[in-house]
Each structure stands twice: as C-alpha cells, then as structure tokens.
Amino acid sequence: MILPPPESELYALMSHFPRSGRLRWIGLRPRRDHPMRVVEQAIAHAGAGLEGDRYKAGSGKRGLTLIQAEHLPVIAALSGHAEIDPIVLRRNLMVEGIPVIALKGRRFRIGDVLCEGTAPCDPCSRMELALGPGGYNAMRGHGGLCARILEGGALRLGDRVSWVET
C-alpha cells in the first residue's frame, strides 16, 4: 500500500489509533489440509513465519495472518451462525482492540515481535465448507491482514498490539 505523503492531513488521520490492542488467540497449522493447533505462545521467525506453522519455511508477505476479534460476531451473523470459533477461519492470530486493516502498509509490534502489514487476508473458497453456503461472502471485508515478520521473538496471549511510527 502506498501511503499518502507524511505532511498530508490524510496521513495524520491514518496515523492515529485510539488505543493498542491485545493478542487473544494463536493457531498453528503444520501442513495444508491439517487441523489447526491452538497454543498459548508461538515463536515468530524473521523473514519466515511461526514455528510449527506451514508458512514457517518462508512465505514472503504472509509470514502470519491476523483477524480482528470484533469481526467474528459479524461473520457469524452474516453466515447464519450463533458464534464463530477462530479456529474455523484459519488465521494465525486473533487480536482485539485495534483495527487490523489500518495496519496495512505499516509496521506494528505484537509484544516484542516487529511486523509489517502487507495485504488484506482475503477469504478462500474453503470458507464455503467451513461456514456453509455464502461463507466466502460472509468473510469478505472481514478476513483480516497478512503480515511479514521483520524481527522475530515470542508471541504470547495477552501481548500488546501497537502501531510503530517509522
């Protein structure tokens, strides 16, 4: 994403976050088509992914994926479910309290791990199986964010998620 010039009003607006967020859920998938494993902590490797996850070998812009906790009730409502377990959505991290899409093109920290938001994490066709007919469309606009890991370290439930001024 190309950000507006730093001296612009839009840049200033895009640089204000009402508060920091928190890491609330971590999931790892060792291989494609394998179930996710829910953990309380994970090791993030710079330039790669999360230890124990299939993208650990290096994935460019998709070292990890985030979804916003506040979007789960919306996805549930749009797909006709009472609630959605984050494991169904196949993202690595669920965070709350910070708009993850606003981190696209920006650097941010989750605990000590430095990340850079690279692209929206659009839904895939598997959401039709996971959520039922229309699941793909229920996820559109709510799929979260892909991020690159710039500085590795441990991720733990409860870690602070905050934007980093560059």
pLDDT tens sequence across 99-112: 999 999 999 999 99
The CB density around residue 5, as the number of other CB atoms within 10 Å, is: 7
pTM of the entire structure?
A: 0.89
Which of 110, 109, 105, 66 lies closest to 89 in space, CA to CA?
A: 66
> Nearest CA to 43 among 158, 159, 148, 155?
155
Please state the domain extents for the chain: 21-164
Instruction: Tell me which of 2.40.50.140, 2.40.33.20, 3.30.420.40, 3.40.640.10 is the CATH number of domain 21-164.
Output: 2.40.33.20
| Calculated CA dihedral for residues 17, 19, 24, 26, nearest 10 degrees | 30
Instruction: Name the burial class of residue 25, with classes exposed (0-12), middle (13-18) and buried (19+) by CB atoms within 10 angstroms of its CB.
Output: buried
**Confidence band for 71, pLDDT divided at 50, 70 and 90:** very high
- What does the block give as tokens for 61? 């812009």
